[in-house]
Structure 1
């Protein structure tokens, strides 16, 4: 087994074979498929939410490249009027702060804090992107899943159920 892995590592270190799930299945007898919400996921290689999952062209490129799934850029939940409790997260420019901090056993570590990283365009634009993703999913080309940041209440603060209900219903 180790010899096979080393051979494949050298052989595929720059690029995987086009149908690498078949290669893994035939060579190692491992089935990489899974199911998510009833949809087939052909293998575990996909893309998480971020700057590279916010337009139809990126989704088409991902499908053509053979990715199994994409999680869309995170949309910020809103109510029927467009009000969003987490609106501060919907800024165009994401800001990241990296700071040193003490880690376990007195070692020095790092922490990363993000300010804003959600969808900063109209919710209707996000819904249009979700529809493009659904078409790709239904065609069996790419599983596309939306991502939502809902209101996260503090301990004594009530949950904003209207945002949850409205956003979830629109995405369904």
Structure 2
């Protein structure tokens, strides 16, 4: 009887081991795919807040491909109201605490050429420039917050982003 129990235990152990391998394989493949969707986006000089001059203001960003293979990244700029409100309301600054009600036009460039997607080799870094232009309306003493998002075409998801805060001062003081 003890032999039967030991044999049965051994058979169950083998079945559990084999079934465990089949269930973990897809998760390992998913993890490997996710490691090919890594990138880092950072603001050069760590300046995430700037004041708009008479014409425009620019931020220099560095995008690094941290994955193991070449990747295509889509870059977009959207309003970032949630982060903006939190940071501005908590900031100890003489600037206004108001959010800009109008949109500011923006462009993303690499080597002075506008683009929406970029190819980067593994470990490669590319310097991007995001420029915001002054609004046409007579707007003053407002903040405009934007989120620059990087989406991996392969993974079809946003993998990194950075928030930029731009202050629009009184035009007479610019």
TM-score bucket of the superposed structures, by smaller chain: under 0.3
Larger strand percent:
2
TM-score normalised over the length of structure 2: 0.22
Which fold has the larger relative contact order, with Cα–Cα distance below 8 Å and residues 6 or more apart in sequence? 2
TM-score normalised over the length of structure 1: 0.23
Larger radius of gyration: 2
